[in-house]
Amino acid sequence: MHLPGNNRPQPPEILAPAGNKASFLAALASGADAVYCGMKRFSARMEAKNFSLEELDCLTKLAHGMGVKVYVAFNSLLKTVDLNRAANFLNALSRWIKPDGLIIQDLSLISLARQTGFAGEIHLSTLANVSFPAALNLVREQYGIDRVVVPRELNIDEIKALAKACPDGLGLEVFVHGALCYGVSGRCYWSSFFGGKSGLRGRCVQPCRRLYTQRGQKQRFFSCQDLSLDVLSKVLLSIPKVRAWKIEGRKKGPHYVYHTVKAYKIMRDFGSDPEKKKFALSLLEISLGRTGTHYNFLPQRPQNPVNVKGQTGSGLLVGKLQGTGKKPYLIPKVELFPGDTLRLGYEDEPWHATQTVSKYIPKRGRLYLKLAIKRRPAKAAPVFLTDRKESHKRLWSELEKKLANIPASKVNLQEIKARLPRKSFKKGPSFEINIYRIPKNVKIKGQETGCWLSAQSHKGMPGRLYTKTWWFLPPAVWPDGENDLKSLVTLALKKGGRNFILNAPWQRAFFTDMTENRKSGRRLNLWAGPFCNLTNPLSIDALISLGFSGAIVSPELSSKDYLVLPKQSPLPLGIVLSGNWPLCVSRIISKNIREKELFISPRGEQAWGRSYGSDFWVYPNWKLDIKKKKDELIRAGYRLFVHLAEPLPKGVKLKDRPGMWNWDLELR
C-alpha cells in the first residue's frame, strides 16, 4: 500500500482502544487513525463497559466525519444458541452503523457477515492464532480475510517472515503497547477451567496474575508486565505489510488512551527527532499502564516479561499508605486532581480498594483516604493512580458537543435467523482414540492409538503403525518451527500416515494435496482438533472447503451446548472424553518457577508445568473426565472420543476430584 502520487509506503494506522465513550473521544482527540471497540455482547473484553448499538452509531458517525476508521471487535466464541442473536447484531451493524471492519476469531462470523450483507473488512483476531507464514495464503484465499492480528509472542524477524509470505490484499496488525497475557492467545483455558468464565468469550478473570505458592515461596510466577515497544516500533515502518500499530487497552480509561496514542503517533511520524522521541517516552511514563517490557521483539535481546520482584498492578505508583487506625493517608509523588482514581493494593488482594480524589492535592501534599473496607490493609500498601479524567477532559469537550448534535438512528434488532448448514454425512460407529506423547503399541478393544507429531515420536514409531496411528499436531506453531513441522508431516505421509488431527485450521497448509496421498492412493482423513475451539455448526461448516472429514469440539462447552451441536453439524463430531488438558500453552517460562513441580493457587488448586520444545505447558493437577457421559454423547450423535495421556512428572500425584469442567455450568 502506497501513498497516492509517490512511492513511499503509507504509514501504518495508529489503532486506539475504546471501552467507553470517554475513551473513544480521547482516541479521536489524540489523533488516532482508527478506533476498535466492542459491543455489550460478543466481545473478547466483556469486562469493559462497551457500547450499545445507538451509542456506537453516533460515535461512528463522528469518527467517520473526522476521517477515522472504526473496527468492531466481534471476537468471542459463539455457541449454537448465540448464532441468531449474533446475526441480529451483525444485521444492525450492516444496515445502520457501517463500521469499517469486524475483528473476529470464530469462523462462523465470516458466514454470518455474508448472510447479513456486511460490506466492511474482516480481520482475524490474535485469538485465531494465525502464527506462521504458510497460514496466510490459506486465510486469504479460502476466507477472503483482509487483515491478520499477529500474536504478541512474535519477534521482529518472525513478523518479517509473516510479511514476506503475506499475499496481495492481506495486511498485518501488530501490537505495540498494552497488557500481555501469559498464555498464547487462543490457547488459554485457565479462567474457564478454574471457574467457567472463558477468556475466549471475553470473561477472563486473569488467574495468571494471582499469587501462587511453590516450595514455600509465594510469588506472581505468571503475571506479565505490559508490552511497550516504544522507540523500537520504528523498525516496523520498514515493513509495508504492517498496516496497523495496535494499542491494547479496552478496559483502560481516556487518560491512558490519549497518552499512548499521542506517544506512538509521535514515534511513527517523528521517531528520528531526539527531542520529540524523548517527549513521546515521557507520555508513556504517565499513561498509567504497568511497567513496560520489549518482550521478544528483539530476538538478540529478549526480555522475560515475568518479573516477580517488579510491580504487577496497572497504574502509576504514587506512594504508599501511611498512618494507622482510622486516618490512613497518602503523601503523593505527583499532583492529584479532582476525578483521579486511586487503587490501594493489588486487585487480587481481599482488602484492596479504590477511591476517587475529590479535590486538588499538590505533590508531597497529604490526602486522607476514606476506606470502607472490612479488613485492614497491609502496612505500607502501595497506592496507584489508575485513571485521570478531569485534567484532560477539555481536550475532547468540543468533540462531546459535536457528538451531542449528531442524531441517532433508530437502530433496532430485527429478529432474523442464521442460515445453518445441512447435515451431509452418514452415521457411523463410534470409536475411541488414546493420544500419547511417544508411540505406544497399545491394543485395547474398540480403541485406536494416536501420538503427538514430533521428531521424538517419529524415532520411536515402527513403520507398520504409521497407517493406523492418528497423528496429533501441536496447538501452537511459530515461524521458526514451521519448516520442521512441515517436514514431520511430509515424513508421516511418506511412511503411510493418513489420519491427522490438526489443532488449528491453518495447519491444513502443511497438506499440499488435500485429499490424496498420491503414493499410496489412500484418502487422507483430516480432523479439526480440540484446540481449534469449535463451538457451533457454522464454524464447523467453514472447515469443509479445507477438506476436513470431522471436527473435535472445544472442551470448554457445557452439556447443553454439547448435546445440541450434533443435530446441526455438517461434519461428524468428536469430543475429548478424558485426559490432561492444559490450563494454557505459553511461550514464557519464568525463571522463578520450577518445572514438573506442583504449585498452589490462593484457593488451593494445584497445577504444574513442563516444557515441550520452546513452549511451556501448564496443567491442573486433575484430569478432565466426562467418561460417565459417554452413552449420552453417543445418543446425541458423537462418533469420536479422545483420551489424552500426559506423562506425569516424578513426584506428582493427580488429585482424585471431579473433572467435569463446564459440563454442569452455563458457560459465560
Q: Where are the domains of the chain?
A: 13-180+224-298, 316-385, 431-581+623-645
Rg (CA), the chain: 26
Over residues 198-249, the pLDDT tens digits come to 999 988 988 998 999 999 999 999 999 999 999 999 999 999 999 999 999 9
Residue in this structure with the C-alpha cell 462470523, named with its chain if needed: 109
Q: For residue 112, give every residue at least 6 positions away whose Cβ sits within 8 Å of its Cβ, in sequence order, or none.
A: 83, 86, 87, 90, 418, 538
DSSP state string for 265-280: HHHHHHTT-HHHHHHH
Q: What is the pLDDT of residue 390?
A: 62
* Euclidean distance between CA atoms 131 and 80, whole angstroms: 27
Summarised one tens digit per residue, pLDDT across range 52-87 is: 888 999 999 999 999 999 999 998 999 999 999 999
SS3 state of residue 644:
strand
Q: What is the pLDDT of residues 103-120, one digit of tens each?
A: 999 999 999 999 999 999
Helices (H), 495-592: 537-541, 559-564
Average pLDDT over residues 521-532: 89
More confident residue, 448 or 375: 448
Q: What is the percent of the chain where pLDDT is above 90?
A: 74
CB within 8 Å of 184: residues ≥ 6 apart: 129, 151, 153, 475, 476, 584, 585, 586, 587, 615
Residue with grid cell 481481599, as numbered in its chain:
350
Cell numbers representing residue 401 in the block: 458537543
Angle of helix 135-143 relative to helix 156-165, nearest 10 degrees, comes to 40
What pLDDT score was predicted for residue 43?
A: 62
Terminal-residue alpha carbon distance, the chain: 40
pLDDT greater than 60 at residue 565: yes
Same fold, 13-180+224-298 and 316-385: no
pLDDT (tens digit per residue) in 458-482: 998 888 899 999 999 999 999 999 9
CATH code assigned to 431-581+623-645: 3.20.20.70
Model-level pTM?
A: 0.94
Cα atoms in the 13 Å half-sphere on the side-chain side of 618: 30
Q: Does domain 13-180+224-298 have CATH number 3.20.20.70?
A: yes
Residues 6+ positions from 393 with CB-CB distance below 8 Å = 22, 254
Whether the predicted pLDDT of 302 surpasses 50: yes
CB 329 within 8 A of CB 264: no
Q: Which CATH number fits domain 316-385: 2.40.30.10, 1.20.140.10, 3.40.50.300, 3.90.650.10?
A: 2.40.30.10
Strand spans (E) along 560-623:
573-579, 584-586, 599-600, 606-612, 615-620
